[in-house]
Amino acid sequence: MSHKLISAAFCFMPLMALAEEATAPKVKSPYTASAELGMLFKTGDTNSADIKSGFDFTHEEAAWKSTVTLGLLIKKSEQEDENGEEHFTTSDQKWTAVGQTNYNIDKASPNYVYGNISYEDNRFSNFKSQSSISTGWGRRWFETEKATLDADVGPGYKRDVIRATDTQPEETKTAFIIQAQALYKREINEHVLFKQLLVAKYAPESGENSTYKARTSITTKLLETLQLKFSFTLDYNTDVEDGKENVNTETAMTLVYSF
212 inside domain: yes
21 inside domain: no
Close Cβ partners of 86 (under 8 Å, ≥ 6 residues apart)? 78, 79, 80
pLDDT of residue 199: 97
Range of the domain at 110: 31-231+248-258
Using CA of residue 13, residue 18, residue 19, residue 21, what is the dihedral sign?
A: positive
Per the CB < 8 A criterion, the answer to whether 215 and 236 are in contact is no
Type of residue numbered 124: F
3 inside domain: no
Q: Exposure pattern of 182-215 as b/e (b: 16+ CB <10 Å)?
A: bbbeeeeeeeebeeebbbbbbbeeeebbbbbeeb
242 inside domain: no
pLDDT of residue 103: 96
14 inside domain: no
CATH code of the domain covering residue 71: 2.40.160.40
- Total domains present in the chain: 1
Neighbours of 80 (CB within 10 A): 9
236 inside domain: no
pLDDT of residue 6: 47
Type of residue numbered 105: I
pLDDT of residue 87: 59
pLDDT of residue 5: 44
50 inside domain: yes
Type of residue numbered 110: P
Give the separation between CA 58 and CA 130, rounded to whole angstroms: 24
237 inside domain: no
The per-residue pLDDT string of the chain (259 residues; one tens digit each, 9 = 90 and over) reads 455 544 544 454 555 554 554 555 566 788 999 999 997 665 666 556 678 899 999 999 889 999 999 999 887 766 666 776 665 566 678 899 999 999 998 877 899 999 999 999 987 778 889 999 999 999 999 999 999 999 999 999 999 998 887 788 888 999 999 999 999 999 999 999 999 999 999 999 988 999 999 999 999 999 989 999 999 999 999 988 877 788 988 888 999 999 8
DSSP the chain: -HHHHHHHHHHHHHHHHHHHHHHSPPPPPSEEEEEEEEEEEEESS--EEEEEEEEEEEEEETTEEEEEEEEEEEEEEEEE-TTS-EEEEEEEEEEEEEEEEEEES-TT--EEEEEEEEEEEESSSSEEEEEEEEEEEEEEEEE-SSEEEEEEEEEEEEEEEEPP-SSS--EEEEEEEEEEEEEEEEEEETTEEEEEEEEEEE--STT---EEEEEEEEEEESSSSEEEEEEEEEEEESS--TTS-SEEEEEEEEEEEE-
